Structure 1
């Protein structure tokens, strides 16, 4: 997972900032609708292909230089050129920001094993149904993984669900209190991940 997630609260306004490099994806649920908060950096996307080819790289059968399925990554140093030289493989993230509203319910962050077999909206709908039943984001993350396995995914499966409000509470009150719940990572692991991402983004 190559994400930096930040929620800033200033002057009563909450902003969600997502920085991504790679083929993981962050999707926001706004009143049941999926809003992509990141772009998958795959060689098949026209903008990434153009950037790669302009820098001397090539796409072969959907792979960067015939070996890598992403066009941006923090690792894979053997495919990066020495400092100061432009490289087809970069670690520079796409950064997207959105002002959170009371209609924003949760955020799904998942690696490509999920998105290879389902759309952003399908994942949002599955998680939203689960939260309405039991309000347990951890269980929803497991359900999302199991659904991807049922659909015969062949890639990595990691899911994090961040809830901004309790659905039951939000429906019962016009001015809900936001809560933040992270699943699938311990506090220590999350801290290590944040330090790793901060270091990688600065390189």
Structure 2
């Protein structure tokens, strides 16, 4: 557990950065718990993948307490790209020591998205026509960082109000259309180059220009960061199959009602999927609901070791088990 004294030292070390712990009451840190649910929907094949790590300190040293990592990967053109990214999350996203530093995490995540994209280009088992959107949510103490490439969405509930933590990267979005057209691409009937319904994704190397060239289809994520307050209740992360038929505010209302009734984030995720199915969504469906427990509830006070961001053999074994649940 990080002591109040150590928090002050961390604040002094990062005083010149936007995200710091300068005046954080350690008793106000959120206690993290999550639930998820996925369904094939009306599709013939399931191409979604996701991962939940409620306690990132079990896998990485030198991260604030609490820390957590979540990802949703919505595949297209086959399941290979999404499955590869999930199976290699540890190597692609968690091995860089910068990921545990609030002032360096954005740089780390941008590098990770680029590395993951290049890894797909070099992986013989992944077709060049297979790709995946990717949304990563990282909690470091009170700092929430969301990196997104594609049309998955993260929505924060603050006092019952929905706050979008990501933008849907559709080719029809004005800023995305402008970027695409300036790089030589076009939008036809809502599809990038008449083929793809998203303008940012990992993989899809049959649509990208050679490495080193700016491409209309990019893996560059957009990143949003904020400091959680006591008014922040939970985070919803979902693939576009949810958001095609449910608005951000409607999702927040449904989850709020569920948590008041049974306080079970997994049941809330299941309820969101079932509601999207009832409303006629045609896509695969994946939802993660992350709750920030009230500060007066019991928290894990197990001391954490500090040191370099390395993963022990035992933690790696547990991590692999988590991937294949």
Task: Please give the residue correspondences for 1:168-183 in structure 2 after superposition, counting only pairs within 5 Å.
Answer: 170=294, 175-177=295-297
- Which of 40, 49, 64 aligns to 2:168? It is 40
How many residue pairs end up in the alignment? 175
Equivalent of residue 188 in structure 2, options 53, 60, 72: 60
Q: Deviations for 1:88-144, whole angstroms, at most 9, x for unmatched residues?
A: 000010000011001111100000000000110000100110010000111111100
TM-score (norm 2): 0.51
Distance 1:179 1:81, change over 3 A: farther
Q: Is the 8 A contact 1:16 1:100 kept in 2?
A: yes
* Alignment pair present for 1:124 and 2:258: no
**How far, CA to CA, are the matches of 2:297 and 2:273 in structure 1?**
29
**Where does the alignment leave 5 or more consecutive residues of structure 2 unmatched?**
1-72, 74-133, 301-317
Question: Does structure 2 retain, via aligned residues, the 8 Å contact 1:21–1:92?
Answer: yes
Q: Distance in 2 between matches of 1:102 and 1:64?
A: 41
1:29-178 matched pairs, under 5 angstroms:
29-165=157-293, 170=294, 175-177=295-297
Within the alignment, does 1:5 sit opposite 2:137 as a pair?
A: yes
CA contact (8 A) 1:164 1:178 kept: no
Q: CA deviation at 1:84?
A: 1.4
1:69 to partner: Cα distance = 0.3
- The gaps in structure 1 that reach 5 residues or longer are 181-185, 193-203
Q: Distance in 2 between matches of 1:133 and 1:32?
A: 15
SS in structure 2 of the partner of residue 77 of structure 1: coil
CA, structure 1 residues 97+51, in 2 after alignment: closer, same or farther (shift >3 Å)?
A: same
> Normalising by structure 1, what TM-score?
0.81
Alpha-carbon distance, 1:51 to partner: 0.1
**C-alpha distance in structure 1 between counterparts of 2:187 and 2:298, whole Å:** 44
Structure 1 residues 178 and 160: CA distance shift in structure 2, 3 A? farther
Q: Measure, in 1, the Cα distance between the counterparts of 2:223 and 2:212.
A: 22
Per-residue CA shift, 1:58-81, capped at 9, x if unaligned? 000000000000000012111111
Q: Is the 8 A contact 1:164 1:179 kept in 2?
A: no
Q: Secondary structure at the match of 2:249?
A: helix
1:178 to partner: Cα distance: 8.3
Superposition CA RMSD, Å = 2.0
Distance 2:181 2:138 in 1: 32
Aligned to 1:196: none
